[in-house]
């Protein structure tokens, strides 16, 4: 078999010039690509196309606020770098800090998690919730697209052959909401792939009507789910149990979990119900979470 | 396609000409005889192949050697030769943390990474710190205790 070239650019400019000429697979952390292309112990992974290693490009490592106050995260930032940086929104930090093993989190990048376009990816949930955009760069220039549009469907992204994801821009943060929620159900606390993860946020008007409500769920269909139509059911109104059930039923129609659908549907219902009913009580803390004894999964709760 | 790759390994500059897509773990074990880097899951989840990459703990089975070009790698061979590393290795031996030993190089790297960032961790923080390292023998308790021991014995060294 003919050996394919491997490119190792030192700057973003160089990387974009390569991308413009050659159909390469960009490889940063390697946590998805090195695993999906691995052979067996001691053997070098085999790729179907030439690879371009971009792990250490300094231009992709920055986290900063732009002049609009939006959080801009370099495509090459790792999960640990995001989890540790308080400039990054809370939901995203939660997801980043519970993604795989520590050693993997020091390699895995946010752009890789998006480009992998897995419905079980950890970061798309918060990114959908907060209307995040990807910045796509090429020698032709830059363009931006909502993450929720960029991920077209299972394992498919809207990336032109000469483009590279260079930045993720998140316009909202926990500061824009009164109450926030993020819960990942995994088979264990660490190293777990998401069984289901629900992210939520709500803001109230002075008269107790809902100014903004958002909910996204991962691992509940071919891609991460969010629907503004469902959220609009409760926006502008006061939270009531009846309205909460309407939101739950409408969101249930949006999601399409394949494996263990009853479990995933019930867990999603419970998390929405809990978040809306708790935030309606207007507690002091900002984070609404599951408490001990409350089951999001439908498992029997231990007696107190 | 072979490329010349230069990096720092355990404090010394090294170079080799090889396929940049070879896995870091293979290069460390085969070309530099760092046999303390163990292969477990081959998917970056078990922590047996942990090394420090520019000071950060990573799993070397998912990193192509090309990504290490110009960077700094520390393996268990380098870490256990440092004062901090010796404290951990001795604490593991004295605390009875080792049974079959396969996960231990990775555990020592994880303990080193943890204590270097958090010199006086709680039980929970230690368990979080080694959550990416799987051990099938010990049940972890003696490893956790040994890391406490290393924190105590090292004292101010961990803050330097």
Q: Where are the domains of chain B?
A: 3-76, 80-155
Q: Mind listing the pLDDT tens digit for each residue in A41-66?
A: 889 999 999 999 999 999 999 999 99
Q: Would you say the C-alpha torsion A230, A192, A195, A35 has a positive or negative sign?
A: positive
Output the average pLDDT for chain B: 97
Output the average pLDDT for chain A: 93
* Spatial CB neighbours of A51, under 8 Å, sequence gap ≥ 6: A4, A6, A7, A24, A25, A26, A27, A33, B20, B21, B64
* CA distance linking residue A124 with residue A28, whole number of Å: 18
Could B23 and A5 be called an inter-chain contact, meaning their C-beta atoms sit closer than 8 Å? no
Chain B residues with CB-CB distance to A99 below 8 A:
none
Chain B residues with CB-CB distance to A107 below 8 A:
44, 53, 58-59, 62-63
Residue A301: pLDDT above 60?
no
- Write the ipTM: 0.95
Which homologous superfamily does the CATH classification assign to the domain defined by B80-155?
[2Fe-2S]-binding domain (1.10.150.120)
* CA distance linking residue A239 with residue A235, whole number of Å: 9
CB-closest option in B20, B128, B134 to A8: B20
Q: Mind listing the pLDDT tens digit for each residue in A66-91?
A: 999 999 999 999 999 999 999 999 99
Q: Which residue from B60, B5, B66 is spatially nearest to B36, judged by alpha carbons?
A: B60
What pLDDT band is residue B12 in, cutting at 50, 70 and 90?
very high
What structural domains does chain A harbor? 6-170 (3.30.465.10), 177-280 (3.30.390.50)
Chain A residues with CB-CB distance to B26 below 8 A:
42, 44
Could B131 and A102 be called an inter-chain contact, meaning their C-beta atoms sit closer than 8 Å? yes
Residue A304: pLDDT above 80?
no
Residues of chain B contacting A, Cβ within 8 Å: 1, 3, 19-23, 26, 30, 39, 42-47, 50, 53, 56-59, 61-64, 66-67, 69-71, 110, 113, 128-129, 131-134
Number of H helices, E strands in chain A: 11, 14
Chain A residues with CB-CB distance to B53 below 8 A:
106-107
Q: Is residue A186 less than 8 Å (CB to CB) from chain B?
A: no
Could B59 and A51 be called an inter-chain contact, meaning their C-beta atoms sit closer than 8 Å? no
Q: Which residue from A175, A173, A184, A176 is spatially nearest to A290, judged by alpha carbons?
A: A184
Architecture of domain B3-76: Roll (3.10)
Q: Is residue A1 less than 8 Å (CB to CB) from chain B?
A: no
Q: Mind listing the pLDDT tens digit for each residue in B63-121?
A: 999 999 999 999 999 999 999 999 999 999 999 999 999 999 999 999 999 999 999 99
- Other beta carbons within 10 angstroms of residue B80's beta carbon come to 18
Do domains B3-76 and B80-155 share one topology? The answer is no
Q: Is residue A22 less than 8 Å (CB to CB) from chain B?
A: no
- Lowest mean pLDDT across A181-190, A196-205, B58-67, B132-141: A181-190
């Amino acid at each position: 078999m003919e050996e394919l070239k491997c490119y190792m650019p030192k700057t973003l400019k160089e990387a974009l010039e390569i991308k413009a000429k050659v159909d390469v697979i960009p490889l940063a952390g390697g946590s998805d690509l090195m695993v999906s292309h691995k052979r067996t112990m001691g053997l070098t992974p085999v790729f179907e196309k030439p690879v371009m290693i971009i792990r250490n490009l300094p231009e992709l490592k920055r986290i900063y606020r732009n002049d609009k106050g939006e959080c801009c995260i370099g495509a090459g930032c790792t999960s640990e770098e995001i989890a540790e940086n308080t400039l990054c929104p809370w939901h995203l930090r939660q997801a980043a800090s519970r993604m795989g093993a520590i050693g993997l989190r020091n390699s895995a990048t946010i752009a890789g998690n998006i480009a992998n376009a897995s419905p079980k990816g950890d970061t798309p949930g918060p990114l959908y919730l907060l209307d995040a955009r990807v910045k796509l760069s090429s020698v032709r220039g830059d363009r931006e697209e909502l993450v929720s549009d960029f991920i077209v469907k299972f394992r498919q992204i809207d990336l032109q052959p000469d483009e590279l994801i260079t930045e993720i821009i998140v316009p909202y943060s926990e500061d824009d909401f009164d109450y926030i929620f993020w819960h990942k159900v995994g088979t264990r606390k660490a190293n777990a792939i998401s069984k289901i993860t629900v992210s939520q946020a709500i803001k109230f008007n002075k008269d107790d009507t809902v100014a903004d409500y958002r909910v996204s769920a991962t691992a509940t269909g071919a891609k991460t789910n969010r629907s503004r139509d469902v959220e609009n059911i409760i926006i502008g109104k006061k939270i009531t149990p009846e309205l909460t059930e309407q939101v739950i039923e409408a969101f249930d129609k949006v999601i399409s979990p394949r494996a263990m659908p009853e479990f995933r549907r019930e867990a999603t219902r419970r998390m929405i119900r809990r978040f809306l009913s708790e935030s309606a009580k207007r507690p002091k803390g900002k984070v609404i979470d599951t408490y001990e004894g409350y089951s999001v999964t439908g498992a029997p709760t231990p007696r107190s | 396609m072979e490329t010349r790759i230069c990096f720092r390994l355990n404090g010394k500059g090294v170079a080799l000409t090889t396929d940049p897509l070879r896995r870091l773990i293979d290069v460390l074990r085969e070309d530099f005889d760092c046999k303390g880097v163990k292969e477990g899951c081959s998917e970056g989840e078990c922590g047996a192949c942990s090394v420090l990459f520019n000071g950060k703990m990573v799993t070397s089975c998912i990193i192509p050697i090309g990504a290490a070009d110009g960077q700094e790698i520390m393996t268990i061979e380098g870490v256990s030769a440092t004062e901090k590393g010796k404290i951990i290795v001795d604490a593991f031996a004295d605390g009875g943390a080792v049974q079959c030993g396969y996960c231990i190089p990775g555990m020592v790297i994880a303990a080193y990474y943890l204590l270097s960032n958090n010199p006086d961790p709680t039980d929970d923080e230690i368990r979080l710190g080694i959550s990416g390292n799987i051990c099938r023998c010990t049940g972890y308790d003696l490893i956790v205790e040994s890391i406490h021991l290393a924190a105590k014995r090292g004292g101010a060294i961990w803050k330097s």
